[in-house]
Structure 1
């Protein structure tokens, strides 16, 4: 079951209404004493319904969860759809300059502050969640993947696991590397991170950057599952195929 409602999001252009989504396992209404882990996801409009997805194809998370009987709550909020780099600003932890996009001011920290101190608190208040770090995860793709990587490092006290699919490391590699080097990560931190083989041609040096970041993450004793997806592309249809891989990493044991 997926519920939809609106939340007030502190966008760079001012507070605005956003659509929020929550997936509840089939057992949620049957066992009213049970509490569940929570997976937070970026780009909520792309997670559950083709009709809401930007390009007409969602991840199919509801179908996967129902089919496998995976008992976890999924909570997500749609991104900024402003054509003036709205999504890039909200999902960028740092400010960066790009020949194509121009100067992009990073509001990623503000996005995460709202997610952990407002949205997460509301989810924990109104739903039967397991609130602790060991049962709280985060996932996303592209810029959402970058945010998931940022979250599992910078907000490691809240999340024990993350899935960063096709993370946009090209936006500010030096800052991400500095963050990983300088941050103390708690034990039992799990991370799934991938990149599609056909994506590598989009950004020169991405394979080398992916190798650098994965090596640094391993040096932090993070339980890392890193993959180059055979024939993988930058789209929801490809990310949907990776669900079994990243869910197994997040929920292992």
Structure 2
């Protein structure tokens, strides 16, 4: 197959935020014809692809996507949205806390009003929530979870690796509990037992228990505890192929394009 080609969009200036940042887009099949592909928007775009832009190594997620293509399986277009360096904590936190103004809502407004339409206009991607996911790790995993429940009309799935559920005294738990279950909702959640003496994994397990009680079954929620997992790009890179498999390959089998996902239960509200 052809070499990996990653399109660079930007640089963008975000109203109310300092500095500029780029958006990187990877297509699973260059020049492929046919149905639009699902799309995965990712926070911390510097970490999504190569090692160089990341201070601790990249996920090499384009290699995982290419592997799906070579196996003839459903694969997403990847959209990595760069963080703003010193602005990162403020733009990825849903709630104010020490060291953060909690402006994820503003950041999401920019993503959904400018980046999502730009990607849809330039690339052959799906436009329905069931075919549009958002993801990240650590604070990015927290941001992805919040984004899914705040904007389910755009993001029908979320990839949440080692989410920082503890942030702002765990306010995300009350937020999720207060929101109706989205009509299209597919969640991948993981954490490592070696992260912060196991507290990240315990928080993730608490979230999963709540979601199970809300009607999420095996088709709409995958929880992957990692006994050897650390809070690192290496661990997230290792678990990423399984996340893609669940969010896109299994989803394509269960819900073809245009067939809404939803949870396995009947209840759609809190």
Q: TM-score, normalised by structure 2?
A: 0.82
What is the CA-CA distance between 1:45 and the residue it aligns to? Answer: 0.9
CA distance in structure 2 between the partners assigned to 1:230 and 1:198 by the alignment:
7
Secondary structure of the equivalent of 2:189?
strand
CA distance in structure 2 between the partners assigned to 1:163 and 1:250 by the alignment:
8
- Out of 28, 31, 41, which is 1:29 matched to? 31
CA distance in structure 1 between the partners assigned to 2:20 and 2:200 by the alignment:
36
**What residue in structure 2 maps to residue 61 of structure 1?**
61
**Does 1:6 pair with 2:10?**
yes
User: Taking structure 1 as reference, are residues 71 and 210 closer, same or farther at Cα in structure 2, changes over 3 Å only?
Assistant: closer
Residue correspondences, number: 239
Q: Which runs of 5+ in 2 are unaligned?
A: 254-270
- Out of 221, 225, 228, which is 1:224 matched to? 221
Farther off after superposition, 43-52 or 180-189: 180-189
**What residue in structure 2 maps to residue 39 of structure 1?**
40
**Does 1:153 pair with 2:149?**
yes
- Out of 89, 98, 114, which is 2:110 matched to? 114
User: Taking structure 1 as reference, are residues 34 and 90 closer, same or farther at Cα in structure 2, changes over 3 Å only?
Assistant: same
**What residue in structure 1 maps to residue 76 of structure 2?**
72
Contact 2:193 2:200 survives alignment (8 Å): no
Determine which structure has the larger strand proportion and give its number.
1
**What residue in structure 2 maps to residue 100 of structure 1?**
none
Contact 1:199 1:233 survives alignment (8 Å): yes
Deviation string, structure 1 residues 19-47 (Cα, Å, up to 9, x no partner): 11000122x4142x541111101111111
CA distance in structure 2 between the partners assigned to 1:233 and 1:207 by the alignment:
10
**What residue in structure 2 maps to residue 17 of structure 1?**
20
What is the CA-CA distance between 1:13 and the residue it aligns to? Answer: 4.0
**What residue in structure 2 maps to residue 126 of structure 1?**
122
**Does 1:176 pair with 2:172?**
yes
**Does 1:240 pair with 2:237?**
yes
Secondary structure of the equivalent of 1:148?
helix
Deviation string, structure 1 residues 162-213 (Cα, Å, up to 9, x no partner): 11001011112442112111111223411111111100417xx544433322
Q: Which runs of 5+ in 1 are unaligned?
A: 98-102
Contact 1:11 1:90 survives alignment (8 Å): no
CA distance in structure 1 between the partners assigned to 2:12 and 2:141 by the alignment:
23
Farther off after superposition, 205-214 or 88-97: 205-214
Contact 1:142 1:167 survives alignment (8 Å): yes
